[in-house]
Every structure is written in C-alpha cells, then in structure tokens.
Structure 1
Amino acid sequence: MKKSSDTAMFPLEAEDAVLLMGKKIRMARRIREMTQQHLADGTEMSLNTVVKMEAGHPGVQFGFYLKALWALDLIDDFTSQLRNVGINETEFSLVESNLPKTVRKKLKR
C-alpha cells in the first residue's frame, strides 16, 4: 500500500481524490491569473496552506478546500457533483425521514 504524505494512513482512492482536487484548484487559480498569495488573502488562509492544498496534501482541512472552490467560483460545480453521489435528492429525503433521530451503541446482554 502506498504511504500517505500525512502521518496517518489515508485510503489510496481518497488520496487520489485530494490530489485531483488540488490540481483542479491550482489550474482554476492559474486560469484566473491569480497568485497563490491572492487566493490565500481572499480566503483568509495562509500561503503555506494554499501551497499544501494545491499539492493535494491530505492534512489540509476540508473546509479550506471548500473556501478555495468558493473563491474560484467553483463551489456550485462541486455541490452539483455531490448531488449525483449515491441516491438522488428525493430518495435521500425519504430515507432521511425514516432514520432514527439518534443512534446508540447496543448494550450486550
């Protein structure tokens, strides 16, 4: 198994997704002729965080990726893709309404 660039092991598929997202963010920033510092300033992140994010570092908080997508006007594309993952919105609403409010660990008898 490939070693993750973070201290914790990261599933290979998840690491690939983070790398892809970082590449897409870098490409979108460059298309918009933004510097990394400009993106950092516009999202209230450090330059180091932007550099790590664009490199696909798995230790960068997910919220920072979302901030970058928002700043690059890509957040709607991202959320529309999320709607296509798993079940559709109607099925999601039906399933969600039938789920228990809380889930507790079952006690051994």
Structure 2
Amino acid sequence: MSKRSKGIAALPESIKHALILVGKNIQVARKRRRIPLREMSERTLISVPSLRKIEAGSPSVSLGIFLQVLWTLQLHMEFELLADPAKDVVGIQKEEKRLPKRVHSAKPDVDLNF
C-alpha cells in the first residue's frame, strides 16, 4: 500500500463526511448554474471522471483541482479564510501561555547624563 493510500485510509470520519458534503454542494452549485459535466470539464480543464470524484467527495483529488472547480463556480472567496491566524483559537491560547509573566523596562542604550 502506498503512502498516499495509507493517508486516505486513515482519514477521520469527520473529514470524509466534510468532503462528501462539499462535493454535494459543488454538484448543487453546478446544477443550479445549468452547467453539464462535459461543459464544466471544458471550463476547468479537468476530466469528467475527476469532476465526478470531486462531486462524490473523493479524498484522492488534489486541493488545487478542488479550488479550480470552486473558482469556476465563483465559490472560492471563502477558502482563504480557512486557516486564518486571527481565528486560530488553539494557536492563540498556546501563544498566550508562552507570554512572559513580567516585562522589565529596557535599559537605555544612550547615556543621558550631560
């Protein structure tokens, strides 16, 4: 078994569920726009089987391909917010724990005695 297939096999159920949900959402968006699979394939330069995998929520499709489809559907704008450092609650909490307990005033580098 390759590293790739081991990684896919080890995905948590919540991730698998999220991929399926996003795939269904993409399919609904495509259908609402009345775009057939073949036309979507031509617009995105992605094969029809790859589009079917995306809409099925397959974890084997690359993130770049997912984003290409989202961009084509004009649904990519929220993606850049997924790992926003300002919303990283765990990271912020860990950073706050490392803050010093006391802060001392800095000694001036310049001699101010005239």
TM range (shorter): 0.5 to 0.7
Unaligned runs of 5+ in 2: 96-114
**Displacement after TM superposition at 1:26 (Å):** 0.3
TM-score calculated relative to the size of structure 1: 0.66
Question: What is the CA–CA distance in structure 2 between the aligned matches of 1:86 and 1:40, rounded to whole Å?
Answer: 35
Deviations 1:42-63 (A, max 9, x none): 1110000001110011111111
Q: Tell me what 1:71 maps to.
A: 72
Question: What is the CA–CA distance in structure 2 between the aligned matches of 1:80 and 1:19, rounded to whole Å?
Answer: 20
What is the number of equivalent residue pairs in this alignment?
84
Q: Is 70-79 or 41-50 further displaced after alignment?
A: 70-79
Letter matched to residue 60 of structure 1: V
Q: Tell me what 2:88 maps to.
A: 86
SS of the counterpart of 1:74? coil
Superposed CA RMSD in Å reads 2.2
The structure whose Rg is larger is 2
Q: Tell me what 1:28 maps to.
A: 29
Distance 1:82 1:48, change over 3 A: same
Unaligned runs of 5+ in 1: 1-5, 96-109
Percent of aligned positions that are identical: 29
